[in-house]
Amino acid sequence: MLEVRQLNVWYGAAQALFDVSLSVGAGELVVLQGLNGAGKSTLLQASMGLSQRQTGAISYQNETISAWPPYRRALAGLGYVAEDRRLFGALTVRENLHIAARGDVPANEARVLDLFPALKVMLQRRASQMSGGEQQMLAIARTLMTEPKLLLLDEPCEGIAPLLVVSIRDALLALRAAGMAMLVAEQNRILADQADRVVTLVSGRVAA
């Protein structure tokens, strides 16, 4: 579904990724591991079209998308949840869900609330008044409202209370069981044991 071939990415003069190749097949869960600064976020951002300077090729569903802007990738079915979540703090949970929603919005809302029941009881709450774990659920749920075919998740369980980590992990595994493809960056091995493949980055290179 997603093919990254010999990707190099730079921030100014500093190169962050070196000839990185990986693929995510339909329905696959691929986990991207590595220490802080290894390049996990950079790879997800480049896949979404958010990096400034890069070489190499990225294809999605057999089309080369390297030159596509982020919105076009989103329309084609790439869903990205950034590490900092990018929620609208002054808006309610429901408003955050609806802001980028596509398709049959009531049906999609019902589906994401079934996946994250904790959100059901706080639909009128402002995102800024939620815990980190609740915000993470909302960020994933909001992306699901765009009807993605492949999810790019940056550290979905990082720094979150253990009980909510279990909810988020179970929700992601349920999505995967329903056929969603996922590329997940994580350091904490919450999903790695369940992955079809684990790709390890060391200093911007694929090590294993």
- Give the footprint of ligand ATP on this chain (CB under 6 A): 11, 14, 16, 34, 36-42
Q: Which is nearer to ligand ATP, 18 or 125 (CB)?
A: 18
Q: Which is nearer to ligand ATP, 2 or 118 (CB)?
A: 2
Q: Which is nearer to ligand ATP, 44 or 78 (CB)?
A: 44
- On whether the CB atoms of residues 113 and 93 are closer than 8 A, the answer is no
* Nearest distance from C-beta of residue 115 to ligand ATP, angstroms: 25
Q: What share of the chain is helix, strand, coil (3-state, %, to 5)?
A: 35, 30, 35
Backbone φ, ψ for residue 125 (5° rounding): -80, 145
Q: Is 14 exposed, middle or buried (0-12, 13-18, 19+ CB in 10 A)?
A: exposed
Q: Which is nearer to ligand ATP, 43 or 97 (CB)?
A: 43
Say which DSSP state 92 is in. B
* Nearest distance from C-beta of residue 201 to ligand ATP, angstroms: 6
- On whether the CB atoms of residues 19 and 201 are closer than 8 A, the answer is no
* Nearest distance from C-beta of residue 175 to ligand ATP, angstroms: 22
* Nearest distance from C-beta of residue 132 to ligand ATP, angstroms: 16
| Residue positions counted in the chain | 208
